[in-house]
Amino acid sequence: MVDSINTNAGSLQGVRSLQKSNSLLRTDQKELASGKKVNDAKDNAAILAISKLLESDVAGLGSVKNSLDRAISTSDVALSAGQEVSSLLLNLKEKAVKAADPGLDDASRQALNNEFTALRDQIDSIVGSAEFNGTNALKAGGNDIVAISEADGGGSLTIQAQDLSLGGDNVALSATQGIGTLADAQAAVSAIEDSLVSVSNALSEIGAGSSRLQQTKDFTETLSNKTQEGIGNLVDANLATTNANFEANQVRQALGIQSLSIANRQPAAILTLFQN
pLDDT band at 74 (very low <50, low <70, confident <90, very high): very high
Q: Judge whether 239 and 1 are in contact, CB under 8 Å.
A: no
In a domain, 263, yes or no: no
H or E element in which residue 251 lies: helix 239-265
- For residues 179 and 112, what is the distance between their CA atoms, to the nearest angstrom? 7
Which pLDDT does position 2 carry in this prediction?
47
Q: Is 70 exceeded by the pLDDT of residue 273?
A: no
The Cα 139–Cα 78 span in angstroms is: 10
User: Which CATH number characterizes residue 171's domain?
Assistant: 1.20.1330.10
Across residues 29-58, what is the average pLDDT?
79
8 A C-beta contact, residue 178 and residue 184: yes
- CA 217/CA 196 separation, integer angstroms: 31
Q: 9-13, 54-58, 211-215: which range is least confident on average?
A: 9-13
Closest CA to 69 of 81, 61, 57: 61
For the segment 143-192, what is each residue's pLDDT rounded down to a tens digit? 999 999 998 888 899 999 999 999 999 999 999 999 999 999 999 999 99
Domain-embedded: residue 76: yes
Domain residue limits at 220: 60-235
pLDDT for residue 258? 72
Mean local confidence (pLDDT), 95-110: 92
Q: Report pLDDT for 1.
A: 47
Overall size of the chain counted in residues: 276
Domain count across the chain: 1
Higher per-residue confidence, 44 vs 163 = 163
Decide if 135 is inside a domain.
yes
Give strand ranges (E) for the chain: 145-148, 156-159
